[in-house]
Every structure is written in structure tokens, then in C-alpha cells.
Structure 1
Amino acid sequence: MTAVKTLQVQEKGDRLDRYLAANLSDLSRSRLQQLIEQGNVQVNGKVCTSKKVVVQVGDLLAVEIPAVQPLELKAEDIPLDILYEDDCLLIINKPAGLVVHPAPGHPDGTLVNALLAHCPNLPGIGGVQRPGIVHRLDKDTTGAIAIAKTDFAQQNLQAQLKAKTARREYLGVVYGVPSTASGTIDLPIGRHLVERKKMAVVPLEKGGRTAITHWQIQERLGNYTLIHFQLETGRTHQIRVHSAYIGHPIVSDPLYSSGKDIGVNLPGQALHAWRLQLQHPITEQSISVTAPLPSALMTLLEVLRRRIAAISSNI
């Protein structure tokens, strides 16, 4: 059954989507924008499909919230490595090879399919095809990823990411050794202008979006380096693109690296979402979760350390 929420504007001068988001805390702003675009929002009895309309004092707003449509996706009993869980938030350690949400070529066997089995009330949270997903990790990037269990939690967590108050830290092994111990890469990223499956450094005037990555050397490993990355923004393939652009691509990256075989069988790029820090949506307490390194990455580090030790012993 469709639910209808009505409210009368008490303050003027704000956009429709912003006003609704501020006054309907149980719905995320992205969900409200979706409802506006679908013709489910009326202003003074007339359907309004523009989120940018500025509301005025006295305007009567009505929001129709359609009943949650049954997902075409099926729940699948896929094991989850849970790092943290409560009634509104779930953080898991994603393995390599697990796609986050369904897409062409990956209709099932995704994290979303696993979540539907683990969280019966998840359908409809944040959209039908990506329920609960707040941010994403590439298929072969491992590590900590947060999932919202309620619309409020999703809205809150997305706001933290936008405001840069949530902290996402990664560990990755790159080819070569940077000339400085740390640095910041501030280069816009967009869809590659020729190879459409790839992202690239693209000027803002050609569709690139601001992307900022902070990095610091953790360990020098001969001709390789273990680097600690911190994201200020969260563009698709951001760390992979930025690392490749400065001449130090992530080891075994199938899209952005043409580096030699390192001699270790890796399931994908040597990149791991190591630590996630955020504020709990309800209690506002700080949560810091660390995802243990996957066995393949640990093996890689051990092999590189042994090689260095062997070289040193022969000097």
C-alpha cells in the first residue's frame, strides 16, 4: 500500500529535495530525489518533478511512498566475514572476487544477494538494486565496507562520506618506490575518453570530478612499496587511477598496470580497505573497524621481505 506524508513549509528559500530531506529524517535525500523524479511529490496539489524548485512558506507538500516492490534479486547463502553489526549498521570484510551489487554480467552471487539472506528487512533501503549499499569496493579490492540497515542510517552515513568526516584507509603494494615519503594526489577523475571500461585523470571541463588521495610509505620492499592511502573523496577506481598516474600502479592491477609478474598468485590488485572510521548514526559514538589483511596480500608481503633478506645476506 502507498503511504502519503504531508507537511507544510515553515521556512522559505530552500530547494524541494533539501527541505524534504531535512524534515523527513526516515528517508534519504537520494531516495527523495528519486521519488520527485518519479512524480511522487506534489507541491500545493500539483505534481513536481524538479528537485530544484524553491519552496515557499505555506506551501503544502505531499510525498507518496510506494510500497516496496519485491526484489527480483534472490537471497543467497553466501558467508560473510562480519567485523561489526547492530540494528542499523553492518560492516564486513569483503573478499576478492565478490561483486558488491548486481550489474550486467553479474546478476547474482553478489554482496547484495548475501545481504538479502543475512538481513531480512534490507529490501528497499536506499533503492531496489543496491539495498543498504553506502559506498562500494571494486570486485577484487578486499576489506571493510559499510552497509546501512535503515534509510536513516544510509542517509547519515552518506552525509558523513560527503562531509569527509568518515575516514577510509587502504593498504596497497605498488610497483617502484616513490621519491618522497608521503604526498597528496589532487587530480580529477572521470570516465576514460576512449577506453570506456576504464577511469582516468580527466580535466574538470571534460567531465572529471574532484578526486583527492593522501598517501604515505609504510614499508619499502626492494622495487616495491607498501603504501597507506587515505581517501578524501571516493571516485570509482580512485586509488588505482591516481597510483598509476604518478608512475606507481598497484601490483597486479588488471586495468591500470602493465607491470611484470611478481611471482605470487594474486586474485586481483594488491589493494585492501584496511580501516574504516565513522560515527554511529544513532549513538554518535566513534566506530573504528580494522579488516585483517587477506592471505594473498600477506603472502605477497612475506615473499617480498624474504627476497630483500636474501639479497642482504648475499652482500
Structure 2
Amino acid sequence: MTDTPSTPPLGEIRQFTVGFDDDGIRLDRWFKRHLPDTSFNIVSRWARTGQLRIDGRRATPGDRIEAGQILRVPPAESVPVPVQAPKVKRDRAPLSDDETDFIRSLIIHQDKQAFVINKPPGLATQGGTKTDKHVDGLLDGLQFDSENRPKLVHRLDKDTSGVLLLARTSRAAAHFAKAFSSRTARKVYWALVAGVPSIEDGMIELPIGKQPGSGGEKMHVDTKEGSPARTRYRVIEVAGNRACWVELQPYTGRTHQLRVHMAAIGHPIVGDGKYGGIECFLTGDISRKMHLHARRLKVDHPDGGVIDIVAELPPHFAESLKNLGFDEKLGDLLPVDEVKAIDTPEGKRRLIANKAKDARRARKGERRGRSRA
């Protein structure tokens, strides 16, 4: 952690040691975190006049800093403070023992930089209108002996279950946010959908935008003004023409993307009445809850290596697979990296080249067989 900035005697040069949590951030960002009363203009002036230094060298606001470096900061400047009404600080109510035990029971991975939880269906990721209980409101229960409260780095819909990644430090939050925005994090979802797609392994590329009149609560395919959206799907098992079990990989991160895309190709996710209407509810012993589960997440770890974690299915989803005669073991047969490789231009070229090589070998074998005959 960065040395806590204290208030030295007026006119005294200040020195701070960059903490582990600030490793890799820009210098101007460090000032926002630790000396928020120092404006960007002041920081820029200190840099221009050589008063701002990192390990004795002149620094600029855009320099990236590293843990352990010494920052030399000029004396604080008195800045007129406008008179404002005092802000009312709304502290979060302390969690009950049951709430703390509940959020901790969801942990499926933890280390110094991250938690991964298996979010149950029905629990929102963040609060909103008429939403009092949510993951964000329970994160105090995962603070343990750390000075930092865990941070959300992505979201799952309220009725979607599965892998949810939480950062334990600001450095980890920045690292994971970059991984999600640059699409280097790989996410695999499982879903039950109504009917069976005619193409077993395909890519859905349909732009998505907010549906007018829904107040932003519902999305739809919008070919004129929607944002680009891509989803790869693969059929794992089918139950006649009634339903099938699919693997989904989002290559973009639009709101409700998987739900909108599957409904758009005529195969809504089972239990998703918002986008599938009455067609998404199957008769018999199949639950009416939504069957969309974030099965797996693979992302680079801030300290090196990879977090590759799988979340078990919620009871209603597992029971539906069983009732439809599906074998859960078949869902994880295709490695996530193989799917990623195939979808790149280089991966496609390699796949075509390998198929051509196999075809040549087959023809050579046929010719040898005919010569022997």
C-alpha cells in the first residue's frame, strides 16, 4: 500500500513510496487517489519546472509508476476552497452474520488479487429500483483483513447464474477491466434453448440497441443504430425438436446480448419470458426459471499465470438437463482456447490448411490402394 500522505510543516518537500496497489498506474492517477486536492494544472506545472520527480528523475503526469519507487512532491499550495454545503455521508449498514456467511459460501476461488464466486440465479449483481439485495451490497463480507473492499469488474444479469470475478486491489481491478474491454478474457456460458438451430456451430452477428419505449430495460436487434454484437454458439445435445443444450461465447459485451441473439434466431433461452415470450417455457418437469449459466471464465492473472475456473450448475438447471436426458459431462469437451483460435483469421487459415492436408493424405491413400489392387 502507498505510504499514507501526511501533512508536513508548510513549505516542506514531501516524499511518498509507491505501494503495490498503485503499481502500473499513471502518475496523475496517483494524485487523484492520494492527493485529490492537488489539481492537474498544479501537477503539470510542477512537472514543467522539474519539481516533480520519481526516484530523483524528472517526471510527467503521464508517466507510469512502479511499486517501491519514491515520489518527490513539492510543498502543498494553498488553494481557495469555495464554501459548500457539507455532504451527507451515507454509510452502508453492517452486514448480518447470515449475510456474511452467505456471500462467503459462494466463493469458488480466492487469492491475493481476486475472488471468484458462483452467483446464484435471482441475486442481482448491483442495486437498482426495488433491488435491495445484491452482490455489491454484500462485498463487505469479503473484505476479511484487507483494507480494500473487493470491486466488481463485470456483471451478470439477475437471473443468470455462474462465474463472477471480483478484484481485491485497484491494480487487479484495472488489469481485469482491461482484459474484459480488450476481449482477452474468455467467457463460456451454458444455456437451454427452445427448439434446435439448423446450424450446429455458428456465429451470430447482429447489432443490439435499446428498445424504444422500454425505458432502456429491454434490448433488441437494431440494424440501423445498434452497437455491433457477436456471439458464437455450439449445440452440445438435442432433445428431439423440443429443445437443445448449447454452449455460448460472447465476443462483445452488450447488455442482454446472449438472450437477444438466441431469441433473434428463433431459439430463445428456456425460462426467458422477457425475450422469448410463451415459446421459451417448456411443458413437463422443466423449471420456468431462466436457464443461462456462466459456466467458465479464463483470464490472465495480474501476478502472472491464468485464472481458469468453472462454476457448478444451479439445481434447477442441473435437474432440467437430467429430465431431458442430457449428460453434463459432454459440456466441457471442447477446450475454450480451441474455439478462440478457430475464430481468428490465422486460426481459420490454419484450420483450412489442416483440412486440405488431411484431404491430400486421404487421396494419396486411395491411389496407393488402387495401385496395390
TM-score (norm 2): 0.62
Equivalent in 107, 116, 138 of residue 114 of structure 1: 138
Query: Are 2:241 and 1:216 equivalent residues in the alignment?
Result: no
The equivalent residue for 1:310 is none
- Native 8 Å contact 2:286 2:323 kept in 1: no
Q: Deviations over 1:31-64 (max 9, x none)?
A: 95xx69xx967333289xxxxxxxxx986689x9
Equivalent in 275, 281, 292 of residue 312 of structure 2: 292
Partners of 1:28 and 1:236 lie apart in 2 by: 30
The equivalent residue for 1:269 is 290
The equivalent residue for 1:227 is 246
The equivalent residue for 2:360 is none
Instruction: Tell me how many residue pairs correspond in the alignment.
Output: 260
- Native 8 Å contact 1:188 1:201 kept in 2: yes
- Relative distance call for 1:81 and 1:190 in structure 2 (3 A) is same
Query: Are 2:299 and 1:278 equivalent residues in the alignment?
Result: yes
Structure 1 or 2: more helix by fraction: 2
- Paired residue secondary structure (1:256): helix
Q: Which has the higher contact order (CA 8 A, sep 6+)?
A: 1
The equivalent residue for 2:220 is 200
Within 5 A, what are the aligned runs for 1:91-106? 91-106=116-131
Partners of 2:322 and 2:295 lie apart in 1 by: 18
Partners of 1:132 and 1:275 lie apart in 2 by: 20
Partners of 1:232 and 1:41 lie apart in 2 by: 40
Given residue 226 of structure 1, which amino acid in structure 2 is its aligned partner?
A: W
Given residue 238 of structure 2, which amino acid in structure 1 is its aligned partner?
A: R
Within 5 A, what are the aligned runs for 1:158-169? 158-169=177-188
Within 5 A, what are the aligned runs for 1:116-155? 116-120=140-144, 132-155=151-174
- Relative distance call for 1:70 and 1:270 in structure 2 (3 A) is same
1:105: Cα distance to partner? 1.1
Given residue 210 of structure 1, which amino acid in structure 2 is its aligned partner?
A: P
1:149: Cα distance to partner? 0.6
Pairwise CA RMSD:
3.3
- Relative distance call for 1:264 and 1:71 in structure 2 (3 A) is farther
> Please, which runs of 5 or more residues in structure 2 have no aligned partner?
7-21, 45-57, 63-72, 77-88, 327-373
Given residue 122 of structure 2, which amino acid in structure 1 is its aligned partner?
A: G
- Paired residue secondary structure (1:301): helix
Equivalent in 292, 300, 325 of residue 305 of structure 1: 325
Q: Which is higher, the Rg of structure 1 or of structure 2?
A: 2
1:70: Cα distance to partner? 6.9
The equivalent residue for 1:173 is 192
Partners of 2:26 and 2:235 lie apart in 1 by: 38
TM-score (norm 1): 0.72
Partners of 1:268 and 1:28 lie apart in 2 by: 45
Q: Deviations over 1:155-192 (max 9, x none)?
A: 00111111211110000000111001111112222211
Structure 1 or 2: more strand by fraction: 1
- Identical aligned pairs, as a percentage? 31
Equivalent in 255, 280, 287 of residue 236 of structure 1: 255
Q: Deviations over 1:248-279 (max 9, x none)?
A: 11001021111163234636311000011111
Partners of 1:99 and 1:228 lie apart in 2 by: 23
Partners of 1:189 and 1:27 lie apart in 2 by: 33
Partners of 1:166 and 1:28 lie apart in 2 by: 23
Higher alpha-carbon deviation: 190-199 or 168-177: 190-199
The equivalent residue for 1:50 is none
Given residue 281 of structure 1, which amino acid in structure 2 is its aligned partner?
A: P
1:221: Cα distance to partner? 1.4
Q: Deviations over 1:218-250 (max 9, x none)?
A: 111121010000111121111001111111110
- Relative distance call for 1:122 and 1:229 in structure 2 (3 A) is farther
